[in-house]
Structure 1
């Protein structure tokens, strides 16, 4: 399935059907992240049920620690 993630066209596996699965696929699943799908900011509770569809525009901001 083709989606746009942070402004870049990406192909993701067809079995990645929710935002939570996408975050896990991108290895962001356990990190704190803010996700916007097609202009709507999602709460963390919405990640597990929010479906991804072909052509969606997804913005992901995740926090990285460091020093």
Structure 2
């Protein structure tokens, strides 16, 4: 079986993912709690509601910030 992969940068680290993977699926795969993060995809903030609509491409850059509450 010959599968193609994309290489993406996540917070400066290199990751490989399946070439048909949505941003949502990729974040779940990396075990992020998607309700508590902010995602910048190629210098654009992506709404939680749009994570299923974005599909990763080779060379994409992600910056992911985890929101932590407390007092």
TM over 0.5: yes
Report the TM-score when normalising by structure 1: 0.80
Is the helix fraction higher in 1 or 2?
A: 2
Gapped regions of structure 2 (runs ≥ 5):
1-5
- Any stretches of 5+ residues in structure 1 without a counterpart? none
2:7 matched to which residue of 1? Answer: 2
How many equivalent pairs are there? 66
State which structure, 1 or 2, has the greater radius of gyration over its C-alpha atoms: 2
CA RMSD of superposed structures (Å): 2.1
TM-score by length of structure 2 reads 0.76
Structure 1: which 4+ aligned runs deviate by more than 6 Å? Answer: none
Contact in 2 for aligned 1:6/1:58 (Cα 8 Å)? yes
Aligned counterpart for 2:39 among listed residues 26, 29, 35: 35
